[in-house]
Amino acid sequence: MSAEQHTNTPSVRRSRSWATAGRYFLLLLVAAISVGPILWELSTSLKSKAEDVYSQTPSLLPQHPTLDNFSEVARAVPIYHFAGNSVTVAVMQIVGNLLGATAAGYALAKLQFRGRKLIFGLFLSTLVLPAEATIISQFQTIVKLGLGDTLVGVALPGLIGAINVLLLRNAFMAIPEELDQAAIVDGANVWQRFRYIALPNVVGTLAIITILTFIGAWDDFLWPLLVLQSPDKLTLTVGLAYLQGTFVNDPRLVAAGAMIALVPILVIFAVLQRYFFRGVGEGAIKG
Amino acid sequence: MVRTHRWFTPWIMVLPALVILCVFALWPAVNTFFLSFTDVRTLSGGTIVGLDNYRKLVDDPQLRAALVNTVVYVVVCVPLLTFLPLLLAILAEKPLRGLAIFRTIFYFPVIASAVAVAVIWKFLLDDRGLINGWATHAGIIQDAVPFLSGRWLLLFSAISLTVWKGLGYYMVLYLSALGNVDPQLHEAAAVDGAGPIRRFWSVTVPGVRRTMVLVAILVMVSAMRIFTELYILGGKTGGVGGQDVSVVFLIQSSASGADGRLGYASALSVLLFVMTLPPMALLARFNRKVDE
């Protein structure tokens, strides 16, 4: 190989190690830009009252790190209760999608019935609608159902996502037809084939949908902002906007609130990122 | 396919998803058009008012500002978020020790809650925040730069935040595209004496051209849908003069409150839909081609 010969000459090796050093420098620079603001806020959330967070020569490391801000912010607004509300919405949507999107995806992929193509087309067609363009009518429906200002009202429109139905349909389509045929010969009915043949083959997709749904519910802002009014019902993002927008003037407390909204999601992501990047690739092409 | 199930079994499986789809996606798509011709409010019925809401749209000075902002947002974001993530992907593509950690870090802003990161940026850009404090200390500026109250400065602060938050997402789209570019093309170009910049334009860019188009369309649509950045950085009034707003911002502000004007908000929604229709149609055509 000619490339192998190149690597053996000292000058090429030297210029290559310079290139590697240059790449590391640029990667570190972008990493600093990406995570710097978050680290700065983390540091602010750990600074004590004695330390000036507006100092002209601020220090990234807190002089006397303290967790006081995390308990004090809860005295200003019930921030942990808000976090619980976000989890409630996320759990409802995860359960709804795992049951509803899985069943619908399976029927569309593996069962023959009249109207199948039409229904598939309906799911596909909604992807061109920007969510914000239908939000007002959704809001009216939720209010008419008596679900305004409730967490169920926040969760309901996202209970079974069209994109998840389509992702699961694709996953089920990838299962070889022979597996189904063999099971039919063995006398398995449709529910048995669904449970014992199809489901074990789409566990990866189910994991991706679970992660994406959790993050989506946790980060969502516009919809819960519209639906919720009572201060005890807010989800975390709406509560955080409320915290920083109104009466709290201490940046340390706002920083603590921001960290409560950020840290769980970053930890979940860092642990599960392998699944995650695959999911983004699959979702983006259709999204 | 042999049919081995009763006729209603598939319907039982599809029904829950179909109900949600009809009630919260298909019906609202139709109903928004109806509502835009009424003066419906959150808690009261309302009557048909014809084109009144649309006439009000034309006269709404805040909407005019919102449309100008949308154009600026699209014009600035599309080139930045089409090229910067590509450069980042090139940087993060070839194997290197610790690369997975870098990719994960680059993705942090993407999965972070938009509200939380906007709150962080607000603190950094504050008159007494880190950036103004540092620049004053270093003697670069005398007085604080009003990042959060200047009409255009606030808009560009929001745009910077959007670009910062979007880099990692589009980088991932490019990473898979770069994997499909034949490395022999690069080698051949290098043998012919093409430097890195020349190879970027004549090998990399043509190789990922389709992804670049996809990214440009996605960025354009999301720039039209901007909301959270402006709402947190500028507050619910939309900046000091109420000029730092977007179409979605106005949909939210006119619909919120116990007596929200849903009719007017619906007319704004129709406008948003019409704006995003051309890029969305392009995207749908694009996806069909990819599938073939």
- Indicate the domain borders of chain B: 48-289
pLDDT at B2: 53
Q: Token pair for residue B89?
A: 């992907």
What's chain A's Rg over C-alpha atoms? 25
Q: Decide: A119 and B18 in contact? Cβ < 8 Å.
A: yes
Question: Residue A1's pLDDT band (boundaries 50, 70, 90)?
Answer: very low
List residues bridging with B38 in a β-sheet: B48
Q: How many residues does chain A have?
A: 287
In chain A, what residues touch B144 (CB-CB under 8 Å)?
Answer: none
pLDDT at B290: 57
Residue to mutate among B24, B40, B164, B290, with most A CBs inside 10 A, is: B24
- Establish if B43 touches chain A: CB-CB under 8 angstroms: yes
pLDDT more than 70, % of chain B: 97
- Establish if B28 touches chain A: CB-CB under 8 angstroms: yes
Q: Which of residues 175-204 of B touch A (CB under 8 A)?
A: 176, 187
Q: Which residue of B has its CA nearest to A135?
A: B28
Give A112's DSSP letter. -
Of A44, A136, A215, the CB nearest to B35: A136
**A265 Cβ neighbours under 8 A, 6+ residues apart:** A215, A218, A219, B111, B112, B113
Q: What is the mean pLDDT of chain B?
A: 89
pLDDT at A213: 93
In whole angstroms, give the CA distance from residue A159 to residue B136. Answer: 50
Please classify residue B96 by burial: count the beta carbons closer than 10 Å to its beta carbon, then call 0-12 exposed, 13-18 middle and 19+ buried. middle
Q: Which residue of B has its CA nearest to A156?
A: B20
pLDDT at B145: 86
Contact B16 A262 (CB under 8 A): no
Among the CATH numbers 3.90.1640.10, 3.90.1150.10, 3.30.365.10, 1.10.3720.10, which is that of A70-282?
A: 1.10.3720.10
Q: Which residue of A has its CA nearest to B263?
A: A136
In whole angstroms, give the CA distance from residue B46 to residue B220. Answer: 35
Distance from CA of B14 to the nearest CA of A (A): 4
pLDDT at B50: 86
Instruction: Please give the interface size between A and B, counted as residue pairs whose CB atoms are below 8 Å apart.
Output: 284
Question: Per-residue pLDDT for B164 more than 70?
Answer: yes
Encode pLDDT of A241-276 as tens digits. 988 876 667 888 999 999 999 999 998 888 887 776
Answer positive or negative: Cα dihedral of A23, A36, A59, A65. Answer: negative
Question: Per-residue pLDDT for B69 more than 60?
Answer: yes
Contact B96 A284 (CB under 8 A): no
Question: Which residue is it, tokens 């509200």?
Answer: B115
pLDDT at A8: 56
pLDDT at A283: 43
Encode pLDDT of A104-135 as tens digits. 999 999 888 888 999 999 999 888 888 899 99
Distance from CA of B45 to the nearest CA of A (A): 11
Compute the average pLDDT of residues A164-169.
94
Contact A221 B228 (CB under 8 A): yes
Compute the average pLDDT of residues B57-79.
95
Q: Which residue of B has its CA nearest to A3?
A: B187
User: Nearest-CA neighbor of A44 among A255, A241, A243, A245?
Assistant: A255
Q: Which residue of A has its CA nearest to B26?
A: A126
- Establish if B255 touches chain A: CB-CB under 8 angstroms: yes
Q: Which CATH architecture has domain B48-289?
A: Orthogonal Bundle (1.10)
A240-254, B216-230, B235-249 — which is least confidently predicted? A240-254
Distance from CA of A4 to the nearest CA of B (A): 13
When comparing pLDDT for A15 and A278, which is higher?
Answer: A15
Helices (H), A46-101: 68-76, 79-96
List residues bridging with B41 in a β-sheet: B44, B261
When comparing pLDDT for B284 and A74, which is higher?
Answer: A74
Question: Residue A285's pLDDT band (boundaries 50, 70, 90)?
Answer: very low
Distance from CA of B58 to the nearest CA of A (A): 19
Encode pLDDT of A198-237 as tens digits. 999 898 889 889 988 999 999 999 999 999 989 889 999 9
Contact B17 A165 (CB under 8 A): yes
Q: How many residues does chain B have?
A: 292
Question: Per-residue pLDDT for A284 more than 60?
Answer: no
- Establish if B66 touches chain A: CB-CB under 8 angstroms: no
- Establish if A130 touches chain B: CB-CB under 8 angstroms: yes
- Establish if B138 touches chain A: CB-CB under 8 angstroms: no
| 3-state secondary structure at position B41 | strand
Encode pLDDT of B28-42 as tens digits. 999 999 999 998 888
Question: Residue B284's pLDDT band (boundaries 50, 70, 90)?
Answer: confident
Encode pLDDT of A31-65 as tens digits. 999 999 999 999 989 988 877 777 666 677 888 88
pLDDT at B107: 92
Encode pLDDT of B110-127 as tens digits. 999 999 999 999 989 988
Q: Decide: B254 and B261 in contact? Cβ < 8 Å.
A: yes
Encode pLDDT of A68-100 as tens digits. 889 988 888 899 999 999 999 999 999 999 999
Residue to mutate among A6, A34, A127, A177, with most B CBs inside 10 A, is: A34
In chain B, what residues touch A251 (CB-CB under 8 Å)?
Answer: 123
Q: Decide: B24 and A157 in contact? Cβ < 8 Å.
A: yes
A99-108, A152-161, B37-46, B161-170 — which is least confidently predicted? B37-46
Distance from CA of B140 to the nearest CA of A (A): 13
Question: Residue A3's pLDDT band (boundaries 50, 70, 90)?
Answer: very low
Answer positive or negative: Cα dihedral of A125, A127, A132, A137. Answer: positive
Q: Which residue of B has its CA nearest to A126?
A: B25
In whole angstroms, give the CA distance from residue B212 to residue B219. Answer: 10
Contact A130 B273 (CB under 8 A): yes
pLDDT at B202: 87
- Establish if A146 touches chain B: CB-CB under 8 angstroms: no
pLDDT at A248: 66
Contact B280 A128 (CB under 8 A): yes
The residues of chain A that CATH labels 1.10.3720.10 are: 70-282
Compute the average pLDDT of residues B234-252.
91
- Establish if A95 touches chain B: CB-CB under 8 angstroms: no
pLDDT at A287: 32
In whole angstroms, give the CA distance from residue A17 to residue A8. Answer: 13
Encode pLDDT of B182-196 as tens digits. 888 888 888 888 888
